[in-house]
Amino acid sequence: MALHLYGHPDSGHACKVALALRLAGLDHQVTLIDIWAARDTRPDAFRAISPLGEVPVLTLDEDVIFQSGAILLELGERFSTLGMETPAGRRRARELVMWEGNRIGLCLPQLIEAHRPGSAGLPPEVIGWLEARYTIDCVNFSRLLGDGPFFHGAKPGVGDCAIWGYVQWLDKAQVAPTQDMARWINAMRDLDAMTSPEALFV
Ligand SMILES: N[C@@H](CCC(=O)N[C@@H](CS)C(=O)NCC(=O)O)C(=O)O
């Protein structure tokens, strides 16, 4: 099966998928889409298949999948990998992907963008709201991680890839990691498959 990922290293959503492909050892092609360029300058092949004009998009032969969480779940199910080998593992993956998308994957990208040099920023009350959400997310991060090195237990899975997407850039969001986050970030950075966002898209 031919897998082709369209993404960019500044997109945590795209990084989630690229990391999952590496962790699962799935051969794939990559096309870098410049997310900072005008949409009508992006390659025709990407514009033709991307339903919302956003990255990531993954093609599996003729199938086109968008939305990072949906792509992660598709990979886990189709290839029976990344913690999705059993019914309990598949349920866990869905729970973690939904939590990430609705919670920590909401506040962190907004904070990162607000603090990006050259960004229009956000009003202080919005920053305050996002940081307050992050405080709650930190508590729930620990609850979900438990004692395991990874969210799926002894080995990282789909949920770890989802959560990595933006937790890798806490410094850019100008928020501090908790002890549990620091422990998990170190475990993720130690993985053989781990590499820089830039190296994921060459
Ligand atoms: N909910 C989507 C978010 C996708 C998204 O926001 N992509 C951004 C990069 S992080 C993008 O393509 N931005 C460029 C644009 O919209 O032109 C997912 O999980 O994949």
Q: CA dist 48 to 44, 59, 62, 148, 184, Å?
A: 6, 12, 13, 42, 38
| Residues 147, 180: Cα–Cα separation, whole Å | 9
Ligand 1 pocket member 67 (CB < 6 A): yes
Q: How many CB atoms lie within 10 A of CB 191?
A: 16
Residues 84 and 77: beta-carbon distance below 8 Å: yes
Distance from the alpha carbon of residue 43 to the mean position of ligand 1, in angstroms: 16
Please tell me the predicted confidence (pLDDT) of residue 163: 99
155 lines ligand 1 (CB under 6 A): no
Q: Looking at residue 170, what is its pLDDT?
A: 98
Alpha carbon 177 to chain centroid, angstroms: 17
Write phi, then psi, for 28 (nearest 5 degrees).
-160, 155
Question: Alpha-carbon distance 158 to 138, whole Å?
Answer: 19
- At position 105, the amino acid (one-letter code) is G
Provide the residue-wise pLDDT of the chain in tens; the chain has 202 residues: 999 999 999 999 999 999 999 999 999 999 999 999 999 999 999 999 999 999 999 999 999 999 999 999 999 999 999 999 999 999 999 999 999 999 999 999 999 999 999 999 999 999 999 999 999 999 999 999 999 999 999 999 999 999 999 999 999 999 999 999 999 999 999 999 999 999 999 9
Looking at residue 7, its pLDDT comes to: 98
How close is the Cα of 100 to the center of ligand 1, in Å? 15
pLDDT at position 83, please?
Answer: 98
4 DSSP assignment: E
Point out the ligand 1 atom lying closest to the alpha carbon of residue 54. Answer: 12
Which pLDDT does position 20 carry in this prediction? 98
Domain boundaries, given as residue ranges, for the chain? 3-81+195-200, 87-189
* Residue closest by Cα to atom 2 of ligand 1: 67
Distance between CA atoms of residues 190 and 102, nearest Å: 27
At the top level of CATH, which class does the domain 87-189 belong to? mainly alpha
| pTM of structure | 0.98
- pLDDT recorded at residue 144: 98
Largest CA distance in the chain: 48
Q: How much is the pLDDT for 22? A: 98
CA atoms within 13 A on the CB side of 198: 0
For residue 135, the model assigns a pLDDT of 98
Contacts of 12 (CB under 8 A, 6+ apart): 105, 108, 109, 112, 165, 166, 168, 169
In this prediction, residue 101 carries a pLDDT of 98
Asked if 56 and 68 touch (Cβ cutoff 8 Å), the reply is: yes
Say if CB 134 and CB 104 are below 8 A apart: yes
Q: What is the CATH number of domain 3-81+195-200?
A: 3.40.30.10
